[in-house]
Amino acid sequence: MGLPLLKGSLLCLVWWWLEEGIVGEQDESSDSYYIWTHKRFDLGYNSEQIVDVNLTSEARQKLELGAKVKFTYEVNWKKSTVRFEDRFDKYLDPNFFQHRIHWFSIFNSFMMVIFLVGLVTMILMRTLRKDYARYSKDEEMDDMERDLGDEYGWKQVHGDVFRAPSHPLAFSALIGSGCQMLTVTFLVIVLAIVGELYTE
């Protein structure tokens, strides 16, 4: 092992120890506090790359007022046959992600979507039925009464299709970004369902 790699690795491990390591514990029976004063790092390396790190806390010491605490650590280097590209395989098991599909959650979401679509369809059909009844009643009027009457329902927006937006450049940019986001989201969902994304 090279000296720069050793120094850099130890610096990273000491920083990790200070940030994420187990500091101590409380004894419920005696209401005493204990601190771990010795840390053992077991490092697995393959060639010039670290592929495995294990941290063990040892030497429990009781905390007392005015006591001096001596902290120590040791580093054990172990040659490993694990490749650097496969170092996370023991944490991300592909079999777990491929075979444990939560069918109940998928079925629940599917039924909720069907329920919401049915609810919106029912509301829309009731609204359109009322509008068609009004329009059929309007056909019995003469032209003079029809011109004086106000338009209502979905006929109020029939002219909006031909009306230019107030900011066409921003509108076109938002439409283009929305189409791209919709396409990317759809592709990511399809790839995640097929199983070719991230886990491999």
> Is residue 39 within 8 Å of 21, Cβ to Cβ?
yes
Report the alpha-carbon distance of residue 153 to residue 124 in Å, rounded. Answer: 11
Total-model pTM? 0.39
**Whole-number pLDDT of residue 168:** 86
Q: Tell me the per-residue pLDDT of 18-43, one tens digit each, with 9 for 90 and over.
A: 555 577 888 877 788 888 888 898 98
What the block records as the tokens of 145 is 């009464």
pLDDT in tens, 61-81: 888 888 888 989 898 999 999
Rounded to whole angstroms, the Cα distance separating 150 from 116 reads: 33
* CB distance 165 to 171 below 8 Å: yes
- How does the average pLDDT of the chain come out, rounded? 77
pLDDT, tens digit (0-9, with 9 covering 90-100), for 146-188: 554 556 666 666 667 777 888 888 888 888 888 899 999 998 8
CA distance 155 to 138: 13
Rounded to an integer, the average pLDDT of 101-105 is 75
